Amino acid sequence: MGDTLISVLRQLRSGYPQRPGHFPQSIVLCGVRDVRDYRIHSSREKAIITGGSAFNIKAESLRLGNFNRTEMETLYRVHTEETGQIFTSEALERLWALSGGQPWLVNALGYETCFRMKAGRDRQQPITADLVDTAKENLILRRDTHLDQLADKLQEERVRRVIEPLLAGNDLAVEFRPDDVAYTQDLGLIRQQVNGRIQIANCIYQEVIPRELAWNIQSGMSQQTQ
């Protein structure tokens, strides 16, 4: 993957001066982070190449943000229109609190509640806050792909420099490196309020992140005592 990505980026870079003849005028590279933040492992060159050095001609970086409350409810309303099954107001409130509008969590909670759980498959019964809480626990315990990748991101030093002080109660942006904050926010792990205070992005992350960090510490201690 590393050498392939580097090859693609360098082909784009070499063809850039030839625009608009015989070369694409615009290309969208879609990923989970800004291309400048990628650290690409090149087996051919036996080195780590940063995305910024491999591809420094980008026009703009756009981030696909979270759903707002209205958008989340509109998505769930599609299910209601298709099946007749309603979400109680308490369930919608809980879904918003748990997901914060994070697209994967919004969809995963809805799918778990309405399709995987037996109680939720009864279309004559409404989706309640209790069902949503059960769905949340199922996702966490099952460590579905997104949450498993979340644990991997916590191994990155620049992410830990933001997350660990937050868990200790330090939530002012002036206490963090701006690049670390921007990077962690791009990953969707935190949100920043107008007054500068930083929070873990949503209730599920607030529950999962401390568990993962504690597990890593406990695992390290176990290895040292062996």
> Does the residue 12 lie in any domain?
yes
Residue type, 90: E
In angstroms, the CA 89 to CA 80 distance is: 13
Give the per-residue pLDDT at 58: 67
Q: Establish if 64 belongs to a structural domain.
A: no
Examine the domain organization and report whether 79 and 129 are in the same domain. yes
The reported pLDDT for the residue numbered 147 is 81
Asked if residue 108 and residue 159 are part of one domain, the reply reads no
**74 & 129 share domain:** yes
Does residue 205 share a domain with residue 165? yes
**Cis-peptide into 126, omega within 30 deg:** no
- Structural domain includes residue 59: no
Query: What pLDDT sits at residue 53?
Result: 53
Identify whether 220 is part of a domain.
Answer: no
Query: Does residue 117 sit in the same domain as residue 78?
Result: yes
Number of domains in the chain: 3
Helix ranges, the chain (H): 2-15, 51-54, 69-83, 89-99, 103-111, 129-142, 145-153, 157-167, 178-186, 203-225
Low-confidence ranges of the chain (pLDDT < 50): 218-219, 221-223, 225
Q: Which one of 142, 169, 185 terminates a domain?
A: 142
Q: Do you know the residue count of the chain? A: 226
Task: Quote the percentage of the chain above a pLDDT of 70.
Answer: 80
Domain stops at, among 112, 142, 172: 142
Are 98 and 126 in a shared domain? yes
What's the pLDDT score for residue 222? 46
Do 129 and 93 meet the contact criterion of CB atoms below 8 Å apart? yes
Say what the pLDDT of residue 110 is. 98
Looking at 91, 123, 142, which one is the last position of a domain? 142
Range of the domain at 89: 69-142
